[in-house]
């Protein structure tokens, strides 16, 4: 088993810890690839008589936003990119605005591939989301796959009304293991921030550079190749938290070769679940469990995983 946490620990932003894999501020990365290259895409969700719908949508190449029919009054949106991934030097940006009482499920059409960068330019993804009063959003994308020699940076910043709730899943793996690519990317970094009300409650930063550190050491990823993190915020999500605890804790020693789960409490209404898994199928089972629990009528009211495939 890993001797230490292979990714940065999520902490209350007022008491940020010093961590070995904590990334530098992404402002320097933005300067490197140039913010002017990012075309802002917009997705706005509104609610009328208990039904949530897209009321404004702008998407520009390389991003395409798909909007199937809503289910049980919940709006669905799926992100897709031409070529199924992000090319070197490409920036994908998205502004999400969920108005009062709206409900949104946001997923991806398939896995997001981070293509190699022979020139060393960074591919990037920037998402900024805002949830109004009593709004709920479940953001459950498919896995991010960093190709050999790829350089990728993502930033997500979410602002929630005190009565809003969010389930945000972030999932990446070590690369195209079927092609014998295992931690052969050049750079992978992530910055995820969540503010609930006036207080920033989550600041989770990660920076991986396999050419500078051995990812397969026991103090890093060890035998694991996938990392799934779920940020669960809001009082209405507490039943989901309790179900996750029952499903994964206490975990059995026989499960350790395939999965290492951890649940961190940030405050009374914010929890972070993180699982390291040795296979993509084990990681998918974690995501499927979260999707199944989203079937609660107080959340989405349907299982998004059962409708996708």
pLDDT, average across residues 181-197:
96
* CA distance linking residue 20 with residue 241, whole number of Å: 28
Q: Which two tokens stand for residue 40?
A: 């802002």
Decide: 205 and 188 in contact? Cβ < 8 Å. Answer: no
Decide: 203 and 19 in contact? Cβ < 8 Å. Answer: no
Collect all residues with Cβ–Cβ distance below 8 Å to 262 and sequence separation of at least 6.
5, 273, 274, 275
State pLDDT tens for residues 244-261.
Answer: 999 998 876 665 678 899
Lowest-pLDDT choice from 30-44, 74-88, 137-151, 174-188: 30-44
Ranges of each domain in the chain: 13-221
pLDDT, average across residues 46-59:
95
pLDDT, average across residues 27-32:
38
Residue 83's region, left for phi above 0, alpha for psi from -120 to 50, else beta, is left
Question: What's the pLDDT band for 71 if we cut at 50, 70, 90?
Answer: very high
pTM: 0.87
Decide: 278 and 271 in contact? Cβ < 8 Å. Answer: no
pLDDT, average across residues 180-195:
96
* CA distance linking residue 48 with residue 198, whole number of Å: 27
- The DSSP element (H or E) to which 30 belongs, if any, is helix 27-33
Decide: 20 and 215 in contact? Cβ < 8 Å. Answer: no
Report helix angle 238-248 to 280-293, nearest 10.
140
């Amino acid at each position: 088993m890993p001797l230490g946490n292979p990714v940065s620990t999520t902490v209350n932003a007022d008491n940020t810890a010093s961590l070995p894999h904590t990334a530098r501020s992404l402002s320097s990365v933005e300067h490197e690839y140039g913010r002017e290259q990012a075309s802002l895409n917009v997705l706005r969700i509104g609610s009328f008589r208990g039904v949530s719908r897209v009321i404004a949508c702008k998407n520009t190449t390389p991003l395409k936003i798909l909007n199937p029919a809503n289910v049980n009054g919940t709006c669905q949106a799926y992100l897709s990119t031409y070529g199924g991934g992000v090319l070197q030097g490409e920036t994908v940006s998205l502004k999400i605005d969920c108005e009062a009482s709206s409900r949104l499920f946001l997923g991806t059409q398939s896995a997001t591939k981070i293509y190699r960068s022979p020139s060393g330019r960074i591919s990037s993804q920037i998402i900024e989301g805002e949830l109004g009063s009593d709004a709920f959003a479940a953001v459950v994308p498919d896995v991010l796959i960093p190709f050999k020699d790829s350089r990728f940076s993502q930033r997500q910043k979410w602002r929630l009304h005190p009565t809003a709730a969010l389930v945000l899943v972030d999932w990446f793996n070590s690369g195209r293991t079927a092609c014998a690519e295992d931690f052969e990317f050049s750079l992978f970094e992530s910055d995820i921030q969540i503010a609930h009300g006036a207080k920033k409650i989550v600041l989770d930063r990660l920076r991986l550079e396999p050419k500078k550190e051995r990812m397969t050491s026991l103090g890093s990823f060890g035998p694991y190749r996938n990392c799934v993190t779920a940020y669960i915020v809001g009082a209405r999500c507490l039943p989901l938290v309790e179900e996750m605890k029952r499903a994964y804790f206490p975990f059995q020693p026989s499960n350790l070769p395939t999965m290492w789960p951890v649940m961190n409490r940030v405050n009374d209404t914010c929890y972070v679940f993180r699982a390291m898994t040795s296979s993509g199928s084990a990681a998918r089972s974690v995501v499927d469990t979260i999707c199944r629990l989203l079937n609660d009528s107080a959340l989405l009211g349907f299982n998004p995983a059962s409708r996708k495939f």
